[in-house]
């Protein structure tokens, strides 16, 4: 079949300093009509710059210096800008990574889609309005005739991403470029978006260039896979061959860095170092400094394409053409992984943290006198326990109240009702001066370390700030003196940096001088600086690549092992939960609907929401998981939660009783419970006894 898109030796540079950055350096690929081609790799490898080069939407500093980009035989690089405008949107559509930055905040959704229709289809207004409504219904926007006249801020993240898809598909393009289309989405919404893209592709015969770093999404969507590293493609293969045996050491290490329940008692394999600077001229393999199988020739000879079998090719000296794969081709799972000692739990019956009936309601004020007209029930009666040295994972969709729970436990948000007991000390109702001495015992690690670190302070000042504010005594539980002399403080800061795997000289730098993973390590060091016993981790790995995520998870696990820390781990990444957690609580619209030991909930989910959540997780292994249970509609507003069971409007098993009252707890074992009318009290107790 003739290729729809052909790229030959594309070279794109960025003139941002004295030396040009070779963001894309000699890239070649071909995409057939109706095919999904996945471009996979870490941040900074050149994936997004490849997409912007195809669209000719490079930043001012960007320039395509070599190569050809052909769409249906026409060379896009030879077209005038006016001709290229006719291609964008009409023949090539693009979904950008961050929908909020791509949608105009002062234009309605209908106005923005109408722009595309005017530019390419020249439809009269009435026909355009009909087409806009049909597009929004096609991408699953409920009540499209009304919502098409709303503004982007009135839509959730998943809804905004669907609007972006509708806009990209408005003129029925031949090629859709999807740049990390599901990175910021929950797994349930991600499943809906991927299913939508698949259905539209089958209906229209559209090709998709899928840019992602999520191997699960690649396994689910792609027919062809290209692994990109430092500006060039290093491995190219059909999906099945790639997942059965990745050949390039970089591809293998990406697989080995993935968390999962089968690696629970092991340290994850970490890709050491960082992507090399693209300002240099490479004389050998670009991956050589991070490769665990490097040969002498890798340093001075650029590897050429080698054929493994069929259409599976790799740039690697370890592979010989048409021969049996060398040790480089062994499964990533078989590589040696260092075992982590299991933490020894403290022998105690009393939990470190006990939350009972916690409610956080925010008033909705209206009118001239700002009278309270209602409440947003962000957290609505949550109870949980965390024991010393253990990890409780809190999972659920965005907007369900996970972060609010974390902040209210720390008393950063004042709870409306309930009890938060830390080591038998009630925290709710304490005055500021009473709470201050306790603050060092529980700390939080935020999702975005860059936003939570002061950009004007050096790392040493950031780490000292907490110690000084909380006056962390003279004996440090982590084995470091906390005497207040400058010399002792310096020694303690050095010890903290070494504990989180950073060299001591970085303490004189500012936050902007670090990578995302390094900034997250600094945030962890800051939390450890005041000797906590409980860490609340709010999505600490969601913005990180797989390899950097592995480093942070290894660090957290070793800290728990060595220091006996307890974690409340807030996330929507189920693979991370399976790897790190001892227990899991599933949250929906302000309430915990199911909780239990990690194996109980993951292997035998009881609540329909938990079942739908786990079924939506993309799996690398073919046919390894349950069939996806689609969730209809969107998360209801916490300002007006449904009567009865909050989940009943989206539940396939809803009964009349579900609409009448909230279900009581149903126990399945000493540790596993759910709130669901599908399990009668009598039946649950019988199961428990047997």
Tokens of 347: 């022998």
Q: What is the rounded CA–CA span in Å between residue 409 and residue 403?
A: 10
Per the listing, tokens 């199961």 go with 687
Q: Is 170 helix (H, G, I), strand (E, B) or coil?
A: coil
φ, ψ for residue 63, nearest 5 deg: -150, 135
- pLDDT at 623 (0 to 100): 59
Instruction: Identify the CATH homologous superfamily for domain 5-91+173-244.
Output: P-loop containing nucleotide triphosphate hydrolases (3.40.50.300)
Contact 140, 166 (CB under 8 A): no
DSSP one-letter code for 266:
B
Contact 135, 203 (CB under 8 A): no
φ, ψ for residue 677, nearest 5 deg: -75, -10
What residue ranges of the chain have pLDDT lower than 50?
322-347, 473-477, 479-483, 682-690
Q: What is the rounded CA–CA span in Å between residue 464 and residue 471?
A: 10
CATH class of 353-586: alpha beta
Q: What is the rounded CA–CA span in Å between residue 642 and residue 646?
A: 5
Q: Residue 322: which region, alpha, beta or left (left: phi > 0; alpha: psi -120 to 50)?
A: left
Tokens of 508: 């004189």
- Nearest of 622, 624, 600, 626 to residue 614 by alpha carbon: 626
SS3 assignment for 423-447: CCEECCCCCHHHHHHHHHHEEEECC
Contact 622, 679 (CB under 8 A): no
Domain with CATH 3.40.50.300 in the chain: 5-91+173-244, 353-586
| Class of residue 274 by CB neighbours under 10 A (exposed 0-12, middle 13-18, buried 19+) | middle
- pLDDT at 622 (0 to 100): 59
Q: Residue 122: which region, alpha, beta or left (left: phi > 0; alpha: psi -120 to 50)?
A: left
Contact 54, 82 (CB under 8 A): no
Rounded to an integer, what is the distance from CA 459 to the centroid of its chain?
Answer: 26
Torsion sign, CA atoms 94, 95, 99, 103: positive
Instruction: Give pLDDT tens digits for 586-596.
Output: 999 999 999 99
Contact 549, 541 (CB under 8 A): yes
Contact 163, 174 (CB under 8 A): no
Rg (CA), the chain: 27
Instruction: Give pLDDT tens digits for 229-247.
Output: 999 999 999 999 999 999 9
Q: What is the rounded CA–CA span in Å between residue 419 and residue 426?
A: 7
pTM (two decimals):
0.85
Q: What is the rounded CA–CA span in Å between residue 97 and residue 89?
A: 16
């Amino acid at each position: 079949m003739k290729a729809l898109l052909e790229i030959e030796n594309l070279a794109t540079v960025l003139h941002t300093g004295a030396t040009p950055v070779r963001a894309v350096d000699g890239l070649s690929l071909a995409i057939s009509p109706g095919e999904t081609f996945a471009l996979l790799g870490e941040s900074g490898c050149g994936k997004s710059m490849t997409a912007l080069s195809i669209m000719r939407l490079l930043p001012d500093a960007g320039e395509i210096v070599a190569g050809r980009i052909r769409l249906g035989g026409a060379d896009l690089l030879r077209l005038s800008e006016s001709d290229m405008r006719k291609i964008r949107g009409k023949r090539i559509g693009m979904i950008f990574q961050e929908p909020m930055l791509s949608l105009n905040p002062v234009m309605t959704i209908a106005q923005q889609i109408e722009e595309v229709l005017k530019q390419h289809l020249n439809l009269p207004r009435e026909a355009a309005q009909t087409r806009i409504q049909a597009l929004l219904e096609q991408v699953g926007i409920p009540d499209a005739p009304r919502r098409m006249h709303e503004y982007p801020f009135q839509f959730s993240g998943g809804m905004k991403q669907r609007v972006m898809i509708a806009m990209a598909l408005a003129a029925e393009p031949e090629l859709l470029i999807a740049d990390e289309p599901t990175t910021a989405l929950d797994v349930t919404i991600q499943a809906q978006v991927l299913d939508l893209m698949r259905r539209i592709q089958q209906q229209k015969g559209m090709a998709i260039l899928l840019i992602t770093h999520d191997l699960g999404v690649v396994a689910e969507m792609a027919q062809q896979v290209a692994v990109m590293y430092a500006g060039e493609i290093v491995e190219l293969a059909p999906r099945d061959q790639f997942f059965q045996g990745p050949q390039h050491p970089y591809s293998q290490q990406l697989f080995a860095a993935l968390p999962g329940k089968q690696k629970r008692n092991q340290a994850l394999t970490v890709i050491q170092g960082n992507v090399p600077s693209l300002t240099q001229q490479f004389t050998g393999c670009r991956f050589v400094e991070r490769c665990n199988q490097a040969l002498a020739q890798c340093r001075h000879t650029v590897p050429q394409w080698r054929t493994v079998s069929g259409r599976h090719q790799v740039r690697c000296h370890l592979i010989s053409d048409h021969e049996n794969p060398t040790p480089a081709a062994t499964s990533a799972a078989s590589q040696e992984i260092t075992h982590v000692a299991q933490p020894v739990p403290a022998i105690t019956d009393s939990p470190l943290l006990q939350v009972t009936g916690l409610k956080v309601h925010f008033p909705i004020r209206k009118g001239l006198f700002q009278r309270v007209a209602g409440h947003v029930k962000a957290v609505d009666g949550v109870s949980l326990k965390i024991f010393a040295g253990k990890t409780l994972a809190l999972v659920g969709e965005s907007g369900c109240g996970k972060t609010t729970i974390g902040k209210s436990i720390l008393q950063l948000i004042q709870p409306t009702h309930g009890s938060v007991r830390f080591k038998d000390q009630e925290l709710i109702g304490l005055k500021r001066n009473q709470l201050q001495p306790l603050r060092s015992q529980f700390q939080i690690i935020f999702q975005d370390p860059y936003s939570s670190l002061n950009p004007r302070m050096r790392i040493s000042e950031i780490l000292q700030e907490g110690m000084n504010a909380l006056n962390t005594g003279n004996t440090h539980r982590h084995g470091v003196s906390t005497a207040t002399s400058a010399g002792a403080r310096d020694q303690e800061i050095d010890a903290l940096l070494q504990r989180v795997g950073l060299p001591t000289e970085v303490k004189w730098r500012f936050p902007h001088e670090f990578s995302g993973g390094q900034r997250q390590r600094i945030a962890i060091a800051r939390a450890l600086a005041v000797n906590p016993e409980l860490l609340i981790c709010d999505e600490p790995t969601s913005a990180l690549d797989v390899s950097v995520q592995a480093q942070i998870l290894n660090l957290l696990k070793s800290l728990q092992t060595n220091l006996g820390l307890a974690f409340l781990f807030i996330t929507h990444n189920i693979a991370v939960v399976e790897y790190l957690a001892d227990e899991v609580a599933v949250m929906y619209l302000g309430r915990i609907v199911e909780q239990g030991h990690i194996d109980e909930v993951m292997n035998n989910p009881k609540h329909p929401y938990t079942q739908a959540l786990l079924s939506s997780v993309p799996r690398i292994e073919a046919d390894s998981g349950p069939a996806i249970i689609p969730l209809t509609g969107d998360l209801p507003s916490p300002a007006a939660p449904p009567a009865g069971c909050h989940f009943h409007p989206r539940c396939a098993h809803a009964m009349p009783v579900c609409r009448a009252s909230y279900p009581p707890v149903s126990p399945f074992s000493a540790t596993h419970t759910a709130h669901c009318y599908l399990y009668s009290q009598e039946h649950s107790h019988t199961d428990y006894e047997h």
